[in-house]
């Protein structure tokens, strides 16, 4: 399965991954445009202060099931859940369905936002100095 490999204990919460993602995909920093986001859990959780949230490209994706427009679908190799922006109307059914809180709605574009691994060359991982996120593809 191809997905961003996450090691939460290595994350320090710098959010450079999300910043790079947002700029690469949308030309500017916008939290609402980030396809990877850091959940800050300290002080409640000392065992895992930071939890990077990013699409796990599930084998049986709940979001795909939930989408009433058919805008989310598994690609042909069965590896990456893709969003067809032309079909998405930002209804948010996918957000409710995702058990990992790893898909969001961009209120400005009225569109779902999710990781599609930058078509095989994920930009975010280049900005993690700590190995908290890693690419599933061979370098």
Binding site for another protein (CB under 8 A): 9, 12-16, 19-20, 22-24, 26-33, 37, 40, 42-43, 46, 49-50, 106-108, 126-127, 129
Closer CB to another protein, residue 42 or residue 59?
42
State the number of CA atoms in the 13 A half-sphere of 112 facing the CB.
34
Which whole-number Å values give the CA distances from 58 to 46, 54, 75, in the listed order?
Answer: 28, 11, 12
Tokens 């100095």 locate to 129
Q: Across-strand partners of 81?
A: 74
Nearest approach, Cβ of 137 to another protein (angstroms)?
20
Closer CB to another protein, residue 59 or residue 85?
85
For residue 113, give the nearest of 68, 58, 60, 53 by alpha carbon: 53
Residue length, the chain? 139
Nearest approach, Cβ of 34 to another protein (angstroms)?
10
Closer CB to another protein, residue 39 or residue 56?
39
Nearest approach, Cβ of 48 to another protein (angstroms)?
9
Nearest approach, Cβ of 74 to another protein (angstroms)?
29
């Amino acid at each position: 399965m191809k997905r961003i490999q996450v090691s939460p204990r290595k994350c320090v919460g710098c959010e450079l991954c999300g910043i790079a993602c947002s700029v690469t995909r949308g030309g500017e920093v916008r939290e609402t445009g980030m396809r990877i986001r850091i959940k800050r859990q300290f002080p409640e959780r000392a065992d895992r202060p930071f939890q990077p949230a990013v699409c796990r490209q599930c084998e049986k994706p709940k979001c795909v099931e939930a989408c009433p427009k058919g805008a989310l679908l598994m690609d042909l190799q069965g590896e990456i859940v893709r969003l067809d922006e032309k079909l998405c109307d930002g209804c948010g059914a996918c957000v409710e369905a995702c058990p990992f809180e790893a898909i969001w709605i961009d209120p400005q574009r009225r569109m779902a936002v999710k990781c599609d691994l930058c078509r095989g060359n994920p930009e975010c991982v280049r900005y993690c100095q700590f190995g908290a996120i890693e690419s599933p593809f061979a370098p």
